[in-house]
């Protein structure tokens, strides 16, 4: 019984970590787009998004933390699509740097 509660706690922590990392990376992307300034953490968007995806997948394995995992995965997928669309649109405007 004790091992089940520890497992649920760890999986819920992974879910919350996934959601928080997704929100932080969303805030970093918005701040860098609005201000035009690339901070130190702004250069690692892909690693933030990848970690949020991994934690979201881990936490969606359990029934109690599945909603947190799906929220984290949803934020990560949205951020991945946002970065891809911005890259493609920027590439169509200036195809050769």
**26 compared with 43, residue with greater pLDDT:** 26
Q: Is residue 36 over pLDDT 70?
A: yes
Tell me how far apart the alpha carbons of residues 91 and 84 are, in angstroms, rounded to a whole number: 10
Three-class secondary structure of residue 15 per DSSP: helix
- Using DSSP, state whether 38 is helix, strand or coil: coil
Among 18, 37, 25, 3, CA closest to 83: 25
Who wins on pLDDT, 57 or 45? 57
Q: Does pLDDT of 71 surpass 90? A: yes
Q: How much is the pLDDT for 39?
A: 61
The answer to whether the CB of 58 falls within 8 A of the CB of 14 is: yes
Domain spans of the chain, in order of start: 58-97
Tell me the pTM: 0.80
């Amino acid at each position: 019984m004790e091992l089940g509660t520890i497992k649920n706690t760890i999986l819920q922590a992974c879910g919350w970590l996934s959601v928080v990392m997704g929100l932080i990376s969303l805030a970093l992307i918005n701040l860098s787009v609005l201000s035009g300034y690339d901070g130190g953490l702004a250069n690692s968007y892909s690693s933030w998004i990848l970690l949020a995806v991994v934690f979201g997948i881990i936490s969606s394995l359990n029934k109690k933390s599945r909603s947190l995992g799906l929220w984290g995965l949803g934020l990560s997928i949205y951020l991945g699509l946002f970065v891809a669309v911005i890259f493609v649109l920027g590439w169509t405007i200036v195809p050769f740097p």
